[in-house]
Chains A and B, each alone.
Chain A
Amino acid sequence: MNYLPILIALLKAVIMISVVMGIAAYAVLAERKIAGWIQGRYGPNRTVLPFIGVIPILGNMLTRLGIFQPVADGLKFIFKEDPVPGHVNKFYYFLAPCVAFIPAMTTMVVLPFGEMDGVPLVLANIDIGMLFILAVSSLGVYGIILAGWSANSKYPFLGGIRASAQMISYELAMGLSILPAFLWANAPGSETGLSLFNVVQSQDQLWMVFWQPLSALIFLVALFAETNRLPFDMPEAETELVSGYHTEYGSMKFGLFFVGEYTHIVIGSGVLVVLYFGGWNFLPGIPFPWPAGWAGGLLSTLWFLLKVFSVVFFFMWIRWTLPRFRYDQVMRLGWAILLPLALANLVLNAILIALFENWLV
């Protein structure tokens, strides 16, 4: 048996996990900096590393930018005391952070992030990539439910209950909002299927968001709800539930929830870019100016990352701009507005495609 392909796959996976974890860590920093900017503060600007900090101009600049802050945050999570309250259900209490963290990291397997000589840069290019992402990310809710239940106290319990209701509600709207994009991407004779790479390929001239703005909007709102971001952060609403489902967690176990949430945001932004914002295609009308070979792969990946960072910035911008919904408003928005809207959008697009194929072509 030849172990080399397995080793190479393993190496690729480790690299991708490191990069996504790094992006997630710096998303936390970006969140704090953007919060500071929006509120007229500086944000984190004091953390200094021993040797780099004393470099005359560069060190000072990096410190002011807070570049070393994620390192300090990570060390703090690891070295803090790890309290385990006496009243928790121990097994599920320890299981919950892992269950919240692993699905968030697993979805990245099928997310394509670039293209080199017509070959997708992705860990596993399966033809049902989108379904895989929906399926695995739907498992992430168990982490939150178990955390809320195992803590055996009232605020986490309410947070867990809210999370389960919210995630089930918005999963439906999210799944339905994706379908029109795939209907349009699957032109007769094309082999798109549910593959994320082929969806990007089908957007080489016009991005999906320009003729499917409603689908993109529903997907974005559902993504906010699924990642528990403000204005949908019902499960951990600080002002009502202390900090919701992770009230009883400290140190690195809280850190896993935290990193899991930001990973979820980064991967979700990646999916949004792939589905509606043309992936690594340059601009609408200018599909793929990247050169062949390694340079092209690198440039398309960087362009994709730039788009992802813009969406992540949008996430943070919304968080520090809008107030939180009331809980019944969240439920009404999900069931009474988004779900019928997504259904109507799907039926309308199906009718449009049928008309288009039967009479115009």
Chain B
Amino acid sequence: MEDILFYIFAAGTLLSAFLMVASRNPVNSAMFLIVSFVGIAALFVMLESYFLAVIQVLVYAGAVVVLFLFIIMLLDVEDSDKIRPKIFTIVAGGLAFALLAIGVLGLFASGAGGPEPELPMRTAASLSRNFGYQLFTKYMLPFQMIGFLLLAAMVGVIYISKKGPTASSDEPEKE
């Protein structure tokens, strides 16, 4: 039962991720992205890490893609059908996929990276309390590094979007 569900969700996640890249209409892409995120959340649920599953839906499906849709609608991309991907993009994408596939297959072939029989985090991550405790004690440094990285990204975005004092009139929330 669990295996069948895993294959259904994994296939759905991969298929919608592929369709997200392949579809011409940006709104379709955003919708497939949501389906893919929800599929990943379902996989987290099957790993009994409910907290990660809910955060996945809350942050990615609930907030990030809403912003994507918002921007897509504001920009009103009409000629998206005519945009052809450049040959360089296709080659680079194929190369990256091939490298990743070789890496994953190599891991499985060597038997080193296979799933361990009983992961210690499996029970710990299921309770949000344990999750928070681990995050603020053992993994404090990576947590703060990621926070710093996000702050830097945010400052960068504000700097790029506000080129000069005159271009500040196009704030999205003012319509």
Contact = CB atoms under 8 A, between A and B. Distances in A.
Interface of A: 92, 126-128, 131-132, 134-136, 138-139, 141-142, 145, 149, 157-158, 160-162, 164-165, 167-169, 171, 191, 193-194, 327-328, 331, 335
29 contacts: A126-B50, A127-B50, A127-B127, A131-B51, A131-B55, A131-B58, A135-B55, A138-B61, A138-B62, A138-B66, A139-B57, A139-B61, A141-B62, A149-B73, A158-B175, A162-B175, A164-B70, A164-B73, A165-B70, A165-B172, A165-B173, A168-B66, A168-B70, A169-B173, A171-B63, A193-B127, A194-B128, A331-B174, A335-B173
Contacts of A92: 27
A168 B51 CA distance: 21
Given A126-B50, A132-B54, A134-B58, A145 B129 contact: no
A331 B55 CA distance: 25
Interface residues of B, number: 24
A136 B66 contact: no
B99 interface: no
A131 B58 CA distance: 8
Interface in B17-62: 27, 34, 50-51, 54-55, 57-58, 61-62
With most chain A CB atoms within 10 A of its CB, the pick from B73, B173, B174 is B173
B69 interface: yes
Given A127-B128, A128-B54, A161 B74 contact: yes
Nearest to A150: B27
Nearest to B1: A1
Given A131-B51, A161-B175, A193-B129, A139 B62 contact: yes
Contacts of A164: 66, 69-70, 73
B153 interface: no
